[in-house]
Amino acid sequence: MPSYRLTDNVIDLVGAPSRIVIDGRIAPTRVLSELRYQLPNAFTKFIVDNAAGVRLRFRTSATRLELTGRVYRSAYVGTPPLPAVFELVEDGDVRATRQVEDGGIANIDHLENTTEYVDAGNTTVIFDGLPAKDRVVEIWLPNTASIELHEVISDAPIQRAEIADTVRWIHYGSSISHMTIPGGPTRTWPAMASRILGWDGTNLGFGGNAMLDPFAARTIRALPADIITLKLGINVVNYDAMTVRTFAPAVHGFLDTIRETQPHTPIVVISPIACPAVEDRPGPTGVDAEFRVTAAEGEPAHGDDSLTLQRIRRILEAIVADRSPTDSALVYLDGPELFSQADDIAGFTVDGIHPNLGGAELIAQRFAKFADQTFPQLALSRP
């Protein structure tokens, strides 16, 4: 059967701003490769190398496809490794799912900001029993793992798929967008929203690492986009990383960097969705005996300069209002409109901060409705 490598330029690697070559294998990464020296630690490196939203796209009539490469599944301290889920999508629908529970492991201590890789050689993911008809195929890579791709083996020729004329959407956010819980790469809220809207999305959701880093802004600045969304604030509170004094200038700098090359692209600044523990109390956050997120006890480390989610929302809304007279393409979206405390009470979170799969679907539907109403010029005909 014919085999193809990504270096053959027949298979497109979609949703990855850059790629790294490792012993002939291709590793997608969600930050520009020339900016990797700016990644602050091993945990951040692993997160930006997670393949959230990254997929292989090509045209074929194959009934059997084999994808080989190295998989490094996430294993956070004290928990078993997460499965790595691959999904095959045809005509916008998931046709097959394969779950990898062997292969390599990335042992992550996010408090110490360390990641230890345990290599287990190549893993082969097989999709068979597929329809023998010419169609565009997408293989969505695991959002909870990093991947080094070796080759795709097919029982029929593979051709490059024509680039569809669609909306290019860049989204930046935290683990709420990255979706580091099991469920499958097409079940993140950005992936579901893309499917509803008919958009072609790039997911720069960096679990635990949405810290307004310059490398993220510069990556977004370099990517062609018809719309950009920035979901800001929750990780800043999680780590108690900024104050009222430092947060607003960091947001302005992030926006200024993007605007250097994309002066007229619509940008939506999204404030944090509901998280009851830190609505009116600052971080850093922890978890209680039931693994629900909690706020720090005692006096805030920064006093009146400490950030809560309610303060962050007011700051972000003010930033958009202040910039709007000279930037009419900048829009504010209040996070609780996407996911509220009532949704948490109704059981749509895992731990009081991360939406479960049902919660992610709510966010996707609500964002899609907002996008249709706010940007009718981006609306596409949908089946």
Domains contained in the chain, CATH given: 3-159 (2.60.120.260), 168-378 (3.40.50.1110)
Beta bridge partners of 294: 286
- pLDDT (tens digit, 9 = 90+) per residue, 302-312? 989 999 999 99
pTM: 0.95
User: Which pLDDT belongs to residue 106?
Assistant: 93
- pLDDT (tens digit, 9 = 90+) per residue, 236-293? 999 999 999 999 999 999 999 999 999 999 999 999 999 999 999 999 999 898 889 9
The tokens for 19 are: 């790629």
Residue 55 has pLDDT above 60, yes or no: yes
CA atoms within a 13 Å half-sphere pointing along the CA-CB vector of 364: 24
Q: What percentage of the chain carries pLDDT values higher than 90?
A: 83
User: Which pLDDT belongs to residue 267?
Assistant: 98
Tell me the mean pLDDT in the region 116-133.
93
Strand-pair category, 145-154 with 3-4:
antiparallel
Q: What is the dihedral of CA 334, 338, 344, 345, to 10 degrees?
A: 90
User: Which pLDDT belongs to residue 380?
Assistant: 60
- pLDDT (tens digit, 9 = 90+) per residue, 336-380? 999 999 999 999 999 999 999 999 999 999 999 999 999 998 986
User: Which pLDDT belongs to residue 336?
Assistant: 98
- pLDDT (tens digit, 9 = 90+) per residue, 57-80? 999 999 999 999 999 999 988 888
Helix axes 214-222, 244-259, angle to 10 degrees: 20
